[in-house]
């Protein structure tokens, strides 16, 4: 019996999570596993009503679950940063979800903005470090509001944090067994202290994985190649901030926010799965947002829980729905309703 904490969050979060949960139920029925969920209403509304963002008591409850399923965080009446840092980043850090896993996969039937590239060219995974770097929040401001103001935002890279992330990426690359190529993406030509450490650790760990081709790429060049030659990539391992940037680019080349999901993974603890799109407040309650990204997050969650057959069934359903041509447009203007798309996936799983 899996215990899953559900945080629908803000805006369209609850609508897409609802479809994701329908899919989870269908997968459980077909594959014969059991689960229970508990809902948490953290997000902008609750914050505006009570001033509470995410209390430590809730975080401690999260530790008792097998996984967390998150919709979207962000409210137009709440200053940017409060909910992102207070809910999303706090959970990532406190539960030590040190990997942000981002599959970049173009499914047949989905349009990529990259000319002459198809599903055979776009299928890689970004392993983003998820608890350190500039996100650690070290730094400060001095002489605020004066012409002499100083701002410092430090990039923290620890030996332990870098090594565990790199090891995870080598293991994943081996398990994927696709091209057996792992790229370390960094800026070691300029930021020599931080990425000097990354490169030393990478080279060291690479010695233990002789079957994996260990490659290096600068982050700016990587942006270029992700567009020009995405087929060069199999697995990328990357520091937090750079990972944040290249994964949005990745989402675009795989067809947009409509199909992009991520896992915040603690391999030894509790992991959290989410669509990467935001809360899209202006579409709230309109039943027009495509829930596929949230459904992809369910697929990742099932895979992580070890329900490989269920994960495969969900992925096949996603692929065949997209491949059917009924879903050419993943945008809110597609004419398809959020709930219709959820039903379509459920039906394909139950077939």
Tell me which residues touch ligand IPM (CB under 6 A): 84, 88-89, 244, 247, 276
Helix axes 338-350, 292-305, angle to 10 degrees: 40
CB-based contact 310:35 (threshold 8 Å)? no
Q: Is 2 a catalytic residue?
A: no
**Within 11-70, which residues bind Mg ion (CB under 5 A)?**
none
If the CB atoms of residues 58 and 249 are measured against Mg ion, the closer one turns out to be 249
> 181 - beta bridge partners?
213
Q: Counting contacts by CB under 5 A, is residue 215 touching Mg ion?
A: no
CA proximity to 62, closest of 270, 254, 264, 280: 270
In a 3-state reduction of DSSP, which class is residue 14? helix
Q: Which stretch binds Mg ion (CB under 5 A): 55-63, 156-164, 169-177, 237-245?
A: 237-245
* Residue 293 near which of Mg ion, ligand IPM, none (CB within 5-8 Å, type-dependent): none
> Which stretch, 9-17, 236-244, 294-302, 326-334, contacts Mg ion (CB under 5 A)?
236-244
Q: How far is the CB of 207 from Mg ion (least distance, A)?
A: 32
Chain position whose Cβ is nearest to Mg ion: 244
- CB under 5 to 8 A by kind: which of Mg ion, ligand IPM, none does 84 bind? ligand IPM
**Closest distance between Mg ion and the C-beta of residue 244, in Å?**
4
Least Cβ distance, residue 285 to Mg ion (angstroms): 25
Closer to ligand IPM at the Cβ: 84 or 215? 84
| 22/74 Cα distance (integer angstroms) | 24
Cβ atoms within 10 Å, residue 167: 16
Measured at CB, which residue is nearest to ligand IPM?
A: 84
Q: Which stretch binds Mg ion (CB under 5 A): 143-151, 241-249, 293-301, 320-328?
A: 241-249
Binds Mg ion by CB under 5 A, chosen from 163, 215, 244, 343 = 244
- Identify whether 220 is a catalytic site residue: yes
Q: Where do we find the tokens 């990039």? A: 155
Helices (H), 265-307: 292-305
Q: Based on CB atoms, which residue is closest to Mg ion, 109 or 278?
A: 278
Going by the DSSP 8-state scheme, the letter that residue 286 receives in this structure is: S
Among candidate residues 117, 187, 213, 337, the one labeled active-site is 187
Give the angle 17-20-25 at the CA atoms, nearest 5°.
125
Q: Residue 200: how many CA atoms within 13 Å on its side-chain side?
A: 10
Q: Is 212 or 257 the residue whose CB approaches Mg ion more closely? A: 257
Q: Angle 91-93-95 (CA atoms, 0-180°, nearest 5)? A: 65
From the list Mg ion, ligand IPM, none, pick the one residue 340 interacts with, judged by a Cβ distance below 5 to 8 Å according to partner type: none
Q: Which residues pair with 241 in a beta bridge?
A: none
Residue 253: C-alpha distances to residues 6, 65, 103, 340 (Å):
29, 34, 12, 25
CA distance 170 to 63: 27
- Taking the complex as a whole, the smallest distance from the CB of residue 135 to ligand IPM amounts, in Å, to 7
Q: How far is the CB of 245 from Mg ion (least distance, A)?
A: 8
**Shorter beta-carbon distance to ligand IPM: residue 88 or 157:** 88
Query: Is 244 a catalytic site residue?
Result: yes
Query: Among residues 29, 39, 41, 220, which one is catalytic?
Result: 220
Q: How far is CA 108 from the centre of its chain?
A: 21
Question: Which residues does 170 contact at the CB level (< 8 Å), separation at least 6?
Answer: 182, 205, 206, 208, 209, 212
Q: How far is the CB of 74 from ligand IPM (least distance, A)?
A: 7
Instruction: Give me the active site residues, please.
Output: 135, 187, 220, 244, 248
Residues that bind Mg ion (CB under 5 A): 244
């Amino acid at each position: 019996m899996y215990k899953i904490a559900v945080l629908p969050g803000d805006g369209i979060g609850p609508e897409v999570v609802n479809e994701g949960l329908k899919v989870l139920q269908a997968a459980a029925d077909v594959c014969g596993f059991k689960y229970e969920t508990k809902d948490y209403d953290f997000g902008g509304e609750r914050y505006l009503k009570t001033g509470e963002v995410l209390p430590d008591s809730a975080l401690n409850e999260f530790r008792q679950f097998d996984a967390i399923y998150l919709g979207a965080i962000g409210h137009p009446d709440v200053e940017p940063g409060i909910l992102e840092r207070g809910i999303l980043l706090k959970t990532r850090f406190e539960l030590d979800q040190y990997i942000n896993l981002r599959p970049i996969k173009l499914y047949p039937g989905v349009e990529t903005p990259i000319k002459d590239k198809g599903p055979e060219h776009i299928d890689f995974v970004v392993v983003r470090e998820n608890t350190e770097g500039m996100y650690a929040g070290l730094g400060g401001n001095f002489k605020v509001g004066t012409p002499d103001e100083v701002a410092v935002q430090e990039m923290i890279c620890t030996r332990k944090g870098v090594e565990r992330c790199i090891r995870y990426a080598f293991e994943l690359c081996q398990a994927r067994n696709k091209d057996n190529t792992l790229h370390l993406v960094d800026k070691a030509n300029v930021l020599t202290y931080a990425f000097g450490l990354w490169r030393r650790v990478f080279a060291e760990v690479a010695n233990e994985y002789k079957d994996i081709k260990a490659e290096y790429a600068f982050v700016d060049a990587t942006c270029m190649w992700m567009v020009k030659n995405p087929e060069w990539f199999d697995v990328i391992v990357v520091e937090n901030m750079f990972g944040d940037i290249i994964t949005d680019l990745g989402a675009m080349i795989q067809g947009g926010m409509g199909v992009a999901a991520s896992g915040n993974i603690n391999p030894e603890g509790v992991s959290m799965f989410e669509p990467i799109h935001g809360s899209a407040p202006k579409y709230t309650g309109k039943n027009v947002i495509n829930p596929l990204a949230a459904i992809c997050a369910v697929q990742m969650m099932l895979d992580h829980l070890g329900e490989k057959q269920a994960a495969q069934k969900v992925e096949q359903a996603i692929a065949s729905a997209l491949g059917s041509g009924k879903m050419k447009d993943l945008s809110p203007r597609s004419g398809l309703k959020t709930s219709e798309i959820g039903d379509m996936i459920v039906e394909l799983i139950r077939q």
